[in-house]
Amino acid sequence: MYINATGYYVPEARVDNDYFLNVNGLTSEWIEKRTGIRTRSKAGEGEGHNSMGLNAIEDALKSLPYPIKDVDLIVSASYSPYDTVATLAHIAQQKYDIDGAKAVYCSAACSSFVNGLEIVDAYFKSGKARKALLICSEHNTYYSNESDPKAGHLWGDAAVAYFLSADKVAETDLKISDIFTCGLGNVGKGPDGVILRPKEGGIEMPDGRDVFVNACQQMIRALDEVTKPIGITPGQLDYIITHQANKRIVAQVAHQLDLTDDHFLNNIEELGNTGSASCALVFAQNRDTFRKGQRVGLTVFGGGYSCGAFLVEI
């Protein structure tokens, strides 16, 4: 499977840590020390899940080597949709008049993008699709409760769009050599670790410690699964991008793999936790950083619990 083009959209607005002192009683120093977050992105007036996703598609179209109407599969991957019936996949199909394409929605908390990628891969391998659009838009601040001292200060908003193909179509294509996902509902707090109940408090993380421990373990496990088939270890990757949940989680993963910080790419300091868009967003933002022959491992952990990873060969 090949990445033909990537695009992203990040709202202009930033909310700094000082904002939360009068909202949930947390100081800027406390937030940064425990999360690494200094500011977080926030959708502005008139922006939302759908508009951010469409803006990410527009960004990707700037480098797409074929007409968007060639797409025969559209997957929207997210846990914060504006509408669970008329999904972003269908909104995109309507906007670009992509006749006959399959349009589906998937959700696996912060693992949603990687699960969406695996769905695309399955369609390609079955011969039921050849070119796909994978959109991931997270409007976390639409659902978050800022007064919650456990998680209200974590969330940012952003969207990414990847165009993918079963066959290589251009010299600029990047190869995805392996994908791994796994449900972990029977591990630790499982479904109680992170919840989103719009009428019952929004996004909540009742036990951050359990999330932290399992995220570190399972993201490394997922990286093992995608590097093993090509005979390398996670430590031999040129770059690693983890789900941007907490800077301390990134540091712990680096410590367990005996790697320095320069092996890891992040945006959490500025954008906060942008959910399942975060990992793919960091990759898209750093396309110019990567060099021919390098390998980049992307690994995620989501509520529910779940984990996933994929390997990109530049």
pLDDT computed for residue 194 by the predictor: 87
Digit-coded pLDDT (tens) for 99-154: 999 999 999 999 999 999 999 999 999 999 999 999 999 999 999 999 999 999 99
* Spatial distance between the Cα atoms of 127 and 55, rounded to a whole number of angstroms: 29
CB 78 within 8 A of CB 138: yes
CB 215 within 8 A of CB 301: yes
pLDDT computed for residue 206 by the predictor: 81
- Six-digit token string for 137: 């838009």
Domain 174-313 adopts which CATH fold?
Peroxisomal Thiolase; Chain A, domain 1 (3.40.47)
pLDDT computed for residue 297 by the predictor: 98
pLDDT computed for residue 209 by the predictor: 85
Ranges of each domain in the chain: 2-165, 174-313
- Number of Cα atoms under 13 Å in the Cβ half of residue 31: 29
Residue 49 backbone phi and psi in degrees, to 5: -50, -50
The CATH class of 2-165 is alpha beta
Digit-coded pLDDT (tens) for 207-254: 778 988 999 899 999 999 999 999 999 999 999 999 999 999 999 999
The model's confidence at residue 191, banded by pLDDT at 50, 70 and 90, is confident
State how far the alpha carbon of 205 is from the alpha carbons of 37, 147, 195, 212, 272, in Å.
17, 13, 6, 11, 15
pLDDT computed for residue 258 by the predictor: 94
Distance of CA 121 to the CA centre of its chain: 17
Residue whose token pair is 């959700």: 107
- Percent helix, percent strand, percent coil in the chain, to nearest 5: 40, 25, 35
- Six-digit token string for 127: 């011969």
Domain 2-165 matches domain 174-313 at the CATH topology level: yes
Torsion region of 217: left, alpha or beta (phi above 0 gives left; psi -120 to 50 gives alpha): alpha
* Spatial distance between the Cα atoms of 195 and 183, rounded to a whole number of angstroms: 16
Q: Is the dihedral of CA 23, 27, 33, 37 positive or negative?
A: positive
- Six-digit token string for 135: 């959109």
